[in-house]
Amino acid sequence: MMRKKAAGMSASSFSHRRVGRIVRTIVAAVGVLLGAATHAMAQQAFVTLHGDPKKEAWWLIADFHPFTTEVRGIPANQIRKNWCKATEFRKDLIPRDLLFEDGTDAMEESKLSFAIEGQFDGTATRQVALVGVFQECAGPKGRFILILDQPAVGTPNIRFVSAVREDRQFGALQKGKNSSIVVLTCMQCDDFSILKWDRRKRKFGRQPDPGVQ
């Protein structure tokens, strides 16, 4: 009777030790994975600067790194088939010290936004125009502009897409005259173009002349 009891205790002790080793192994593996994920996130800043912001405007030396696979619920590869990532510009993704100069919101001062809303096609349907950065599956990156219909429910409908490969992808928007959209590639310069609804062609397009009639 005593031998059976001892044997039972030995088996139980062995089982507990085995479970303990498995638990420790799992905890260690989770720790490694979390550490790797944290390191990857730390390495993958959305904005990196290639130059001295004290000597050059930050948006001229900024390189953006898209990290999402959809924009407003639309998969990146449905916007363009060769895209693997696309991230909409948002203020909360950009370091505050870049956007705020001397405590002032530089974009607010210039009346610029990364996304603007309006009835840009002259109908009752509201649209949103937005800018962001894309990355092709093959690697190249660039700036994109989207105009989307905003339905009450469901995924937005793409009305316009413009994408260009760029080493420096900064872009911003501003409401123009007669429901037009001003597209800028800088914050304090004259490098801009105009997007406007063409009633005859029934689509959005760039104005040949910056002056909107």
Residue 143's pLDDT is what? 97
Q: Enter the DSSP assignment of 113.
A: B
From 108, 175, 181, 94, select the one nearest 146 (Cα to Cα).
181
In a domain, residue 211? The reply is: no
Same structural domain, 123 and 200? yes
- pTM assigned to the model: 0.76
Residue 45's pLDDT is what? 93
Residue 176's pLDDT is what? 94
From 165, 160, 194, select the one nearest 177 (Cα to Cα).
194
Residue 44's pLDDT is what? 67
- Give the span between the Cα atoms of 24 and 137, in whole angstroms: 39
- Give the span between the Cα atoms of 63 and 58, in whole angstroms: 10
How many domains does the chain divide into? 2
- pLDDT tens for the chain, residues 1 to 213: 444 444 444 555 555 566 556 546 554 544 444 443 433 444 569 999 999 988 999 999 999 999 999 999 999 999 999 999 999 999 999 999 999 977 889 899 889 999 999 999 999 999 999 999 999 999 999 999 999 998 888 889 999 999 999 999 999 999 999 999 999 998 877 789 999 999 999 999 988 655 444
From 165, 86, 167, select the one nearest 130 (Cα to Cα).
86
CA 185 to chain centre: 17
Tokens 């060769």 — which residue? 82
Same structural domain, 174 and 190? yes
- Give the span between the Cα atoms of 145 and 212, in whole angstroms: 19
Q: What is the residue range of 182's domain? A: 47-206
Same structural domain, 93 and 5? no
Residue 11's pLDDT is what? 53
Same structural domain, 96 and 31? no
